[in-house]
Structure 1
Amino acid sequence: MSAENAAVNFSELVNKNKQTLARLKESPRLLLHRRDGEDLVLTTAARAEQDRTVVSAATRMLAAMARREPGSMELLLDVLPDAFPWVRFLPEPDVHAFAVELVDTMRAADSINNSAAVAQMLTAWEHTAEAHSDPDVRAALTMDHEADYGPVPSPEAIA
C-alpha cells in the first residue's frame, strides 16, 4: 500500500467503526490488518469503480496501440524492460511471447472484470525469468535428458 493509504487493525473497524470509516474521507483506501487471515483493503464503491475505469482504459489503449501500427509492438518490446526489469533475463523469443500474452490476457481479464489471470501470468513469466537468470537452473532445465524413466504416476496413485 502506498503512503497515502491508512492502515489499522481489523479490530478497530469492529470496535470503533464510525471513527475508522471516517478515515476513508482522508485516505482513498484503508488497509485492515488481520491477525488470523489475509489483510483486507477497504475503499468506497465510487473509488473502486474509478480504479476499474482507469485500469480498463489503460488496458484498452495498450491493446489498441499494440495491434494498430506495425511498429507499435517494437515500441512495446522496447519499453517492457522499464516496466518489468526481469524481462532482460528472458530469451528474445520469450520477450515477444510475453508481450503478446500480456496484451491478450489484459484484454480478456478486463472483459470479465477480474485481474487475477493477469497477476498469475505476470508471476509465471517472472519465475521463468528467474530460472533463466540462474545459469545452473537454466542448464538443468534445458539439458537433454537421455534417460527415460517411464510414465509418471498421478499424485492420487502415489497417495
Structure 2
Amino acid sequence: MSAMETNLSDLLNKPKVTLAALRGARRIRLRRRDDEDLVLTTAARADQDSAVLGATSRMFVEMMRTSQGRTLVLDVLPATFPWVRYLPAPDVREFSVELVGALGAAVDLDSTAAVAQLLTEWKHTAEVHADPELYAALTADSDEDYGPVPEPGAAA
C-alpha cells in the first residue's frame, strides 16, 4: 500500500502541494510533534476500505457458522497469529469465537477498536503462557492479601 509521510505543518503551510501528493499515494501520514500522527485519505478510498473490511468480516462470520469453517479457522489461526501457539487448545477455540463476535460487531458499529483491543488482550494472554516463570507467578495460590487495588490514574 502506497503511503506518503509528511509533517502536519506541510499540509498547513503548503496544502495544494501536499494534497496533490495524495493522488499518487493511497494515504498520507501526517506526523505531529506533540501528538499522535494523523492519516489523510480520500473519502472514496476510506469507503472502499470500509466496504472490504465489512465484506471480509461478514464472510468470516458466516464461514464460522459451519463446522468446516470452524475447523479451517482453527487450522489457520497459528499462521495468522503466530502467538496463538502458546495458548492452550480451549483458549484458542475461545479466542476464535470472540474474534468472530468482535468482527461481526465491528461491521455493525463501523469501528475496529474492539477488534484491536481483543487482539491485544489475547496476545498478552499468550505472552503469559509463553513465559513459564510469569505464568507460575500469576497463577500461584497465595494467602497474602495486598489490599484493594486503586483505580487507574488514582494516586497510590
Return the TM-score normalized by structure 1.
Answer: 0.91
Which residue identity is paired with 2:53? V
Per-residue CA deviation, residues 45-91 of structure 1 (Å, 9 max, x unaligned), is: 00000000000000000000001x22211110000011100000111
Distance 1:38 1:154, change over 3 A: closer
- Secondary structure of 1:6's partner? strand
Secondary structure in structure 2 of the residue aligned to 1:71: helix
Q: Which residue number in structure 1 is paired with residue 87 of structure 2?
A: 90
CA gap 1:98/1:26 in 2 versus in 1, 3 angstroms: same
- When structure 1 is superposed on structure 2, of 149-158 and 110-119 the one drifting more is 149-158
2:103: which partner in 1?
Answer: 106
Matched, 1:58 2:56: yes
Name the structure 1 match of 2:127: 130
Rounded to whole Å, the distance in 2 between the matches of 1:73 and 1:18 is: 50
2, 5, 21: which one pairs with 1:7?
Answer: 5
> Is 1:149 aligned to residue 150 of structure 2?
no
The alignment of Structure 1 onto Structure 2 pairs a total of residues equal to 155
Q: Which runs of 5+ in 1 are unaligned?
A: none
Q: For the structure 1 residues 153 and 23, does the alpha-carbon distance in structure 2 shift closer, same or farther, using more than 3 Å as the test?
A: closer
21, 24, 29: which one aligns with 2:22? 24
| 1:149 counterpart letter in structure 2 | D
The CA deviation string for residues 103-142 of structure 1, in whole angstroms up to 9 with x for no partner, is 0011011101011000001000000101111110011112
Gaps spanning 5+ residues in structure 2: where?
none
For residue 35 of structure 1, what is the amino acid of its counterpart?
R
CA distance in 2, matches of 1:11, 1:129: 41
Structure 1 counterpart SS, 2:33: coil
Q: Secondary structure at the match of 1:31?
A: strand
DSSP-derived class of the 2:64 partner: helix
**TM-score, structure 2 length as denominator?**
0.93
Task: Give the letter for the 2:18 counterpart.
Answer: T
The aligned residue for residue 38 of structure 1 is 36
Deviation at 1:36, TM superposition (A): 1.3
Identity of aligned residues (%): 51
Which range is displaced more, 29-38 or 148-157?
Answer: 148-157
Q: Give the 3-state SS of the residue equivalent to 2:25 in structure 1.
A: coil
